[in-house]
Amino acid sequence: MRILYHLPLSPYARKVRLALAEKRLPFELRIERVWDRRAEFLALNPACTVPVLTEENGLAIADSNAICEYLDEAYPDTNLLGRTLAERAEVRRLVAWFDGKFAQEVTQNLLYEKQMKRAMGRGNPDASAIRAGYANLRPHLEYLGWLHETRAWLAGGQVSLADFAAAAHLSALDFIGDVDWSVNDAAKDWYARMKSRPNFRGLLADRVSGLTPPAHYTDLDF
């Protein structure tokens, strides 16, 4: 059985889960407490980060982008990266935006500070970082809303890995109640479309010990 090592609130693992589900590839989820630095997991990924995907033939792939690129090449029937060079460039640009710029300016300041820092034994949350995360979220939601208003999906005419990258980060933040969807109606409408897709069901069913998501987290018409 294909196995995905993950943490429930890891945006990078969530992106891979969305890609696997969109391609209708069966897989087993295994939670990996990366801070424990298990020898067996280090053998799969010396960086000791999630996600890591292992195939039935023993192939192990680390890094969410490497995994998603592999999936799109190995299982091309459902294309997630675009058909033309221009489409693929734009998808990759937006994936880099959300996994890089958004992650650094928002996810790191909110999800990491509020949830991951203590779990990893790295001290208490930094209040100034959290304030920065909330402030940075607004322009990102406005940009996402603009993309949704000017395109069918974030990168163009079809749903793509760009949508999954954005939704992965925002769904993790939404789980801890940190997204003010009133900031931009278009961004909210886009996220409602994403939540309604069949590949999102696994994320909506997630539960994390000690955390209760807001009521709207699973509401498709929030």
Domain ranges of the chain: 85-198
What is the 8-class DSSP label of residue 81? Answer: S
Residue 158 has pLDDT above 90, yes or no: yes
Please choose, from the candidates 171, 172, 179, 192, the residue with its C-alpha nearest in 3D space to the C-alpha of residue 136. 179
The two three-digit tokens of residue 198, written as one number: 């069949």
Would you place residue 139 in the very low, low, confident or very high pLDDT band (cuts 50, 70, 90)?
very high
CA 55 and chain centroid, separation:
21
pLDDT at position 11: 98
Tens digit of pLDDT for each residue in 178-221? Answer: 999 999 999 999 999 999 999 999 999 999 998 999 999 999 98
pLDDT at position 116: 82
Query: Residue ranges of the alpha helices (H) in the chain?
Result: 11-22, 39-44, 64-74, 85-96, 117-119, 127-150, 161-175, 185-195, 201-204
Q: How far apart are CA 164 and CA 167, in angstroms?
A: 5
Q: How far apart are CA 62 and CA 50, in angstroms?
A: 7
Higher-scoring residue by pLDDT: 212, 117: 212
Please choose, from the candidates 197, 194, 150, the residue with its C-alpha nearest in 3D space to the C-alpha of residue 169. 194
Residues 137-163, mean pLDDT to the nearest whole number: 98
Residues 8-28, mean pLDDT to the nearest whole number: 98
Tens digit of pLDDT for each residue in 34-85? Answer: 999 999 999 999 999 999 999 999 999 999 999 999 999 999 999 999 999 9
CATH architecture under which domain 85-198 falls: Up-down Bundle (1.20)
Whether 168 and 14 have beta carbons less than 8 Å apart is answered as yes
Would you place residue 222 in the very low, low, confident or very high pLDDT band (cuts 50, 70, 90)?
confident
pLDDT at position 117: 81
The two three-digit tokens of residue 126, written as one number: 């930094």
Residue 120 has pLDDT above 80, yes or no: no
pLDDT at position 102: 98
Q: How far apart are CA 20 and CA 23, in angstroms?
A: 5
Model pTM score: 0.96
Residue 119 has pLDDT above 80, yes or no: no
The two three-digit tokens of residue 31, written as one number: 């939670």
Q: How far apart are CA 107 and CA 5, in angstroms?
A: 20
Distances (CA, A) of 196 to 171, 191, 192, 204: 13, 9, 6, 10
**Average pLDDT along the chain:** 96
- What is the crossing angle of helices 185-195 and 127-150, to 10°? 80
